[in-house]
C-alpha cells in the first residue's frame, strides 16, 4: 500500500477546524443566491483567486467578511453538512468543531439559529455517514470579556450540545488573562477548555504558560512557540496536553508550515496533532495537512499512526469510545 493510500485510509480525528472556515466559495455563491445577497465576483473561481492574506489579521478580515451569507438555520446546516461529508470522504471518524457565535449574533443572527443548524447537520451526518462530532464554542478575543461572558450565559440552555469552549481571533493585545473569569465560569459550568496560541504572536510563550497555569486549559490550539522553552515543553509532555497544529494554515499566516516543529514535538513525546483550521481558505483538509507533514518529515506509517492516535487520545470522549477508535488505527496499521 502506498503511503498516500495509507494516509487516506488512516482513521482520523480532527480537533481544530473552524466551521466558518470550511465555507467554500461554491457554497458561498449558493447561500448568497438563496438569501438575495449580491457578491462582488463573477463566480466561485474568481472569488477564490481574490483570496490574499499574509498574516492573521488579513486572513481574519476575509474570514469574517465571508460569513455574511450565513443567515438562516439551513445555511448553518448546509455549511456543517458539507464539512462533515468532506471529512467523511477523508476517513475522519470524529471531529471537534469550533464555531464563532459572536461573529453571527453581532450581525443579528440568533445563537439559537446558529446552533440548531449545526446540531441538525451533526445528527444527520452521524446517522447517514457515521461521522461523530462535538461542538466547541469559541469566544472572539478581540471583543470584550463582557461580550464573551454574555455569550457563555447565552450558551447555557444548549449546554448538552457543546463539549467545551475555546478562544480565537486576533491574539495581539488580547492575552489569555483577559478571559480568565469567563473561562473559570465555563469550567464551573462543566465545559472543557482550549485556547488558540497562534504562531509567532507577541508574547507567544508567555501566553502558552498562562493557558497552562492561569487558565488550566485541557488543550492548546497551535502552540508551536512552546518549543522556545524547554521547561514548557517538558510540562506539556508530562501533562499530555495536546497541541493542535495546522501546517497548511501556518504556511499562509506565518513564515512556514512549522512541520519541523511537529517533528521536534514528536521527538519530545509531546501530544501533537495535525488539523486543517480553515480549509476552505487555506486549500487543504486534514488529509492534505497530513500529506504535507509526511513529505516534509519523511514519516512512515508508524509516525502517521502516532499522529492519529495522539488526536484520538486527546479527544473529549469517554475512555471506551477512544479505545474503539484507537483499535481502528491499529487495524489500519496491521492491514498496511
Ligand atoms: N479564527 C479562525 N481561524 C483562526 C486562526 N487560525 N487563528 C485565530 N482565530 C481564528
Ligand atoms: Zn484556528
Ligand 1 in reach of 21 Cβ (< 6 A): yes
Q: Is the dihedral of CA 127, 128, 133, 134 positive or negative?
A: negative
Answer for the pair 84, 133: CB distance below 8 angstroms, yes or no.
Answer: yes
Distance CA 324, CA 301 (A): 20
Distance CA 299, CA 322 (A): 24
Alpha helices in 98-177 (DSSP H): 102-105, 111-129, 145-155
Ligand 1 in reach of 18 Cβ (< 6 A): yes
Q: Which residues pair with 334 in a beta bridge?
A: none
Ligand 1 in reach of 174 Cβ (< 6 A): no
Side-chain-side CA neighbours of 219 within 13 Å: the count stands at 30
The values of phi and psi at residue 228, to 5°, are: -75, -10
Model-level pTM? 0.98
Q: Which of 49, 24, 296, 314 is nearest to 194 (CA)?
A: 314
Give me the tens of pLDDT residue by residue for the chain, a chain 336 residues long.
899 999 999 999 999 999 999 999 999 999 999 999 999 999 999 999 999 988 899 999 999 999 999 999 999 999 999 999 999 999 999 999 999 999 999 999 999 999 999 999 999 999 999 999 999 999 999 999 999 999 999 999 999 999 999 999 999 999 999 999 999 999 999 999 999 999 999 999 999 999 999 999 999 999 999 999 999 999 999 999 999 999 999 998 888 999 999 999 999 999 999 999 999 999 999 999 999 999 999 999 999 999 999 999 999 999 999 999 999 999 999 999
Which domains, and CATH codes, for the chain? 3-335 (3.20.20.140)
Kindly identify the ligand whose nearest atom is closest to the C-alpha of 99. Answer: 1
Ligand 1 in reach of 221 Cβ (< 6 A): no
Answer for the pair 330, 11: CB distance below 8 angstroms, yes or no.
Answer: no
Distance CA 336, CA 334 (A): 6
Q: Could you tell me the distance, in angstroms and rounded to a whole number, from the CA of residue 17 to the centre of ligand 2?
A: 6
Q: Which of 250, 248, 224 is nearest to 236 (CA)?
A: 224
Listed in sequence order, the residues at least 6 apart from 106 whose beta carbon sits closer than 8 Å to its beta carbon are 143
DSSP of 44-68: HHHHHHH---SSHHHHHHHHHHHGG
* 73-89 and 111-129 helices, crossing angle to 10°: 30
Give me the torsion for CA of 290, 296, 300, 301, rounded to 10°: 0
Ligand 1 in reach of 198 Cβ (< 6 A): yes
Ligand 1 atom 9 nearest Cα: 169
For 149, the grid coordinates are 461572558
DSSP of 255-283: SS--HHHHHHHHHTT-EEEE--BSHHHHT
Q: Could you tell me the distance, in angstroms and rounded to a whole number, from the CA of residue 330 to the centre of ligand 1?
A: 32
Give me the torsion for CA of 51, 56, 58, 62, rounded to 10°: 50
Side-chain-side CA neighbours of 308 within 13 Å: the count stands at 34
User: What is the separation, in whole angstroms, between the first and last Cα of the chain?
Assistant: 6
Distance CA 206, CA 158 (A): 33
Ligand 1 in reach of 122 Cβ (< 6 A): no
Amino acid at each position: 500500500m502506498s503511503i498516500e493510500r495509507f494516509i487516506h485510509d488512516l482513521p482520523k480525528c480532527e480537533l481544530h477546524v473552524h466551521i466558518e472556515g470550511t465555507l467554500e466559495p461554491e457554497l458561498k455563491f449558493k447561500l448568497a443566491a438563496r438569501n438575495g445577497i449580491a457578491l462582488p465576483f463573477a463566480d466561485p473561481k474568481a472569488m477564490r483567486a481574490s483570496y490574499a492574506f499574509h498574516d492573521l489579521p488579513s486572513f481574519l478580515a476575509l474570514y469574517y467578511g465571508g460569513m455574511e451569507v450565513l443567515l438562516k438555520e439551513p445555511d448553518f446546516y448546509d455549511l456543517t453538512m458539507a464539512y462533515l461529508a468532506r471529512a467523511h470522504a477523508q476517513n475522519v471518524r470524529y471531529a471537534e468543531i469550533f464555531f464563532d457565535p459572536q461573529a453571527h449574533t453581532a450581525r443579528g443572527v440568533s445563537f439559537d439559529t446558529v446552533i440548531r443548524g449545526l446540531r441538525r447537520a451533526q445528527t444527520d451526518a452521524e446517522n447517514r455517514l457515521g461521522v461523530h462530532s462535538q461542538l466547541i464554542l469559541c469566544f472572539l478575543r478581540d471583543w470584550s470579556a463582557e461580550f464573551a461572558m454574555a455569550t457563555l450565559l447565552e450558551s447555557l440552555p444548549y449546554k448538552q450540545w457543546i463539549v467545551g469552549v475555546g478562544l480565537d481571533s486576533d491574539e495581539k493585545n488580547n492575552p489569555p488573562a483577559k478571559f480568565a473569569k469567563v473561562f473559570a465560569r465555563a469550567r464551573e459550568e462543566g465545559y472543557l477548555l482550549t485556547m488558540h496560541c497562534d504562531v509567532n504572536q507577541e508574547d507567544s510563550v508567555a501566553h502558552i504558560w498562562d493557558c497552562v497555569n492561569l487558565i488550566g486549559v485541557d488543550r492548546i490550539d497551535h502552540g508551536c512557540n512552546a518549543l522556545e522553552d524547554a521547561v514548557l515543553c517538558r510540562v506539556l509532555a508530562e501533562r499530555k496536553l495536546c497541541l493542535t497544529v495546522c501546517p497548511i494554515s501556518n504556511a499562509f499566516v506565518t513564515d512556514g508550515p512549522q512541520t519541523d516543529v511537529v517533528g521536534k514535538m514528536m521527538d519530545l513525546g509531546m501530544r501533537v496533532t495535525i488539523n486543517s483550521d480553515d480549509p476552505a481558505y487555506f486549500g487543504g483538509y486534514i488529509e492534505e495537512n497530513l500529506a504535507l507533514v509526511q513529505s516534509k518529515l519523511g514519516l512512515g506509517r508508524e509516525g502517521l499512526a502516532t499522529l492519529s492516535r495522539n488526536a484520538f487520545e486527546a479527544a473529549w470522549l469517554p475512555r471506551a469510545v477512544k479505545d474503539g477508535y484507537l483499535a481502528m488505527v491499529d487495524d489500519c496499521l496491521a492491514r498496511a
